[in-house]
Structure 1
């Protein structure tokens, strides 16, 4: 009975989220409450097992840091200077933003990267009277592709890295960065022709942009220098967290609290909290509760275990099937809970005689990270971008995003299939 209830509630909630008739956070939370009322799980289970409070805390902390820093005019300064460097030309701006996003997502993490870059690009597109959709789309795609390349780039990679003792930071770069670079190049080759006609700025806007004194946007008070210092320390902490043995969430929380303390006289905490994207945070909470219902009812576990039965223990078929299942399923639900359910299943494969599991782990990582590009709720970064855009009155359409996301994910999985087969499966079968 729980399976039927969880499945129906999730499906109905997902349909309402897609139609965008009602606020998505309200729908997600309502679905979670229905799961509680129908007894699929208890309140304790939801708060202890299914809501990823580390992700929520990381998002909240970065929103606090960015809200305070934004008031100093720093992001407006960066936005104008960046646009002036490419002389307001939309195509170089498009390419530059995608590169910045991909590199930032690989070195930091994709959620932090989009939290920093999206407010900047929204300001630039407004200044140049450009459509924001192509830039937001490329930011999401680039963040998930860049996040695929490293251990800390995407939450699924962090989870897999923690599950497999012999995987290091360099392991992820060695095994996943090559295919991420290939996908990034393909993305630009596909997206540039698609949006070339719409990426045109008026000469008057470009001339006006070049005449702006970027430094005039900076509010040169102690809060500016405090914000830069704390934000720099926080980002440095992210880069060094593996060596410092401190969780990313702890580093982000420390930075947020420190900056709140330092800037209390210039910007009251109440004002900072009023600028936090609470709708996005509560949508995450609702999304975790919805997917938690699928987990509690055993739907995700059964799907994962069915993979083993379908492949009949064949190593090559198992690796490819996990790639596609994780890729397609991660487009429907957030990839974090799906990977959490899949990790013990992959570990169980050793009991079926599969001693060398590395290709299967890489298949899971590629599928989960690349598959997140399919929909606006496929990955954490997608949800954050959509929330920031909505907060700026530039709402991203769920259906419109899917029209680009789903075909691109299918292409990504095809490329990943060839990569997995050539790099791992052919050498393995020849042993």
Structure 2
């Protein structure tokens, strides 16, 4: 192992340990790690490394959607939608909880996970505040559902786009395999959360209170409210059709955010931008560079080759190894660099080991399952996790520790790995 590879690995471990124990703010330690890596000479061209490894599409998507959500929030649309949903599904806390989780999972299959939580989390706070019930099971459930639901379609999560492109899967072909296992994993997660939070979810809802909810007073300006609904619908449609429209997700988000600001709150630019979670954007910027250093120095590629050597003699064992290891790897590092590193390795298998790996389908789907499900392991495993917990801090002034999140995420992930492994075995073997 070269000195540069060792350095990048040590920095990665230090940053992860620092985030786990929360002695230093995660954005600060991640930025310090990224700056150190830039200054050590790991990247021959520092500006080139920033251009190559930082996913600006994701960063600008976050910026645009934060502006969009904050602008629309002031019109009362999320409170209105939340209380309207409450009147439909609020017979008891269980039905309310289950309906919200299923809706988040459904949205995540067609809209970016970050966008989904940015829409649903504020709505959820409006509901739980109105009923005076604990928001924690709802927030955790929606985070887990966004990651599980995102694996159902090609457009649900970025790794799926990469995998489908490499394997040549169509939208319907991919969804036909992934939707059943997505549904099973989601039901498992819901049942576990109901068990964990049975006291909070057993709280009785006063039906008279629900009936007497008047959502009309929430809307102070009907014109702005109608415009916000039109803008909200337009952005969702644009996300769903972004590939047909040849638009990047960041372009849709920025257009939605700043156009809505121009239409609804042109004088609130400074106030709206002050509400943007800049620390989260910087955190992702740093994380992309740290992952880039692992890729630049060959750490990720070496990891991929070790996996091939470990399970190269069995298609079934290799598929389950991909599912398991990618799940836990994704729990601490963005799933995009892992998938990017694994794609060329998997593609070579059909050539180098054609007798064993003539059918790569179980490997491709195992990689997708692991890369998406691993997002539930830790609070830093997926963009949606970081943003949702950021909204928790923004709206409630509360934080969930690394360990508190992970104790739920680990149990759900382990169950999902077993379910997915059995499913892959049943479908392909």
TM-score exceeds 0.5: yes
**1:196 counterpart residue number:** 198
Distance of 2:87 and 2:23 partners within structure 1: 39
1:73 corresponds to: 76
Tell whether the 8 Å contact from 2:93 to 2:204 is kept in structure 1 after alignment: no
194-203 or 330-339, which deviates more: 194-203
CA change 1:75–1:264 in 2 (3 A) is closer
Post-superposition CA distance 1:380-430 (Å, at most 9, x none): 211111111122212122101111111211111111111111111x2xxxx
Task: Give the 3 Å change call, closer, same or farther, for CA 215–15 of structure 1 in structure 2.
Answer: same
CA distance in 2, matches of 1:263, 1:316: 55
Aligned to 2:406: 402
Aligned mates of 1:125, 1:20 — CA distance in 2? 28
Distance in 2, matches of 1:349 and 1:249, equals 34
The secondary structure found in structure 1 opposite 2:376 is coil
Q: 1:221: how far off?
A: 4.9
Within a 5 Å distance, the mapping from 1:127-146 to structure 2 comes to: 127-146=130-149
How many residues align? The count is 422
SS of structure 2 residue aligned to 1:332: coil
Q: Give the equivalent residue in structure 1 for 2:85.
A: 82
Residue in structure 2 matched with residue 417 of structure 1 by the alignment: 421
Matches of residues 275-290 of structure 1 in structure 2 within 5 Å? 275-290=275-290
The 8 Å contact of residues 129 and 201 in structure 1, kept in 2 or not, is answered as no
Alignment partners' CA distance in 1, 2:49 and 2:138: 36
Q: Is the 8 A contact 1:156 1:339 kept in 2?
A: yes
Matches within 5 A, 1:357-368: 357-368=360-371
Aligned to 1:356: 359
Q: TM-score, normalised by structure 1?
A: 0.92
The C-alpha deviation readout for 1:153-191, integer Å capped at 9, x for no partner, is: 112112222333x21111221111111111111122222
Deviation at 1:112, TM superposition (A): 1.1
Aligned residue in 2 for 1:335: 335
Displacement, 1:213?
Answer: 1.8
Question: CA contact under 8 A between 1:327 and 1:368: conserved in structure 2?
Answer: yes
Partner of 2:239 in structure 1? 238
Task: Please point out which of 41, 46, 49 is paired with 1:43.
Answer: 46
Q: Who is 1:317 aligned against?
A: 317
Report SS of the residue matched to 1:107.
coil
Equivalent-residue separation in structure 2 for 1:225 and 1:122 (angstroms)? 22
Q: Does the CA-based 8 Å contact 2:151-2:160 persist in structure 1?
A: yes
* 1:23 to partner: Cα distance: 2.2
In structure 2, do the counterparts of structure 1 residues 22 and 221 end up closer, same or farther at CA, with 3 Å as the change threshold? Answer: farther
CA distance in 2, matches of 1:251, 1:162: 22
The answer on 1:187 being equivalent to 2:180 is: no
Gaps of 5+ in 1: 427-431
Task: Tell me which residue corresponds to 1:104.
Answer: 107
TM-superposed deviation, 1:278: 1.4
Distance of 2:97 and 2:48 partners within structure 1 = 44
Three-state SS of the structure 1 residue aligned to 2:133 is: coil
Q: Would you say the 8 A contact 2:131–2:205 is kept in 1?
A: no
Larger mean CA deviation between 245-254 and 131-140 belongs to 245-254
Structure 2: distance between partners of 1:416 and 1:422: 10
CA separation in 2, counterparts of 1:6 and 1:338?
16
- Corresponding residue for residue 8 of structure 1: 10
Indicate the SS of the match to 2:221. Answer: coil
Where 2:220 maps in the other structure, the secondary structure is coil
SS of alignment partner, residue 41 of structure 2: coil
Range moving further from structure 2, 78-87 or 377-386: 78-87
Q: RMSD between aligned alpha carbons?
A: 2.0
What pairs up with 1:166-315 in 2 under 5 angstroms? 166-201=168-203, 210-265=211-266, 267-315=267-315
Q: Determine the C-alpha separation between the residues in 2 that align with 1:163 and 1:384.
A: 29
Q: Alpha-carbon deviation of 1:88? A: 6.7
Q: Is the 8 Å Cα contact of residues 79 and 124 (structure 1) preserved in structure 2? A: yes
CA contact (8 A) 2:5 2:294 kept: yes
Pick closer, same or farther for the CA change 1:244–1:181 going to 2, 3 Å: same
User: What displacement does 1:138 show?
Assistant: 0.6
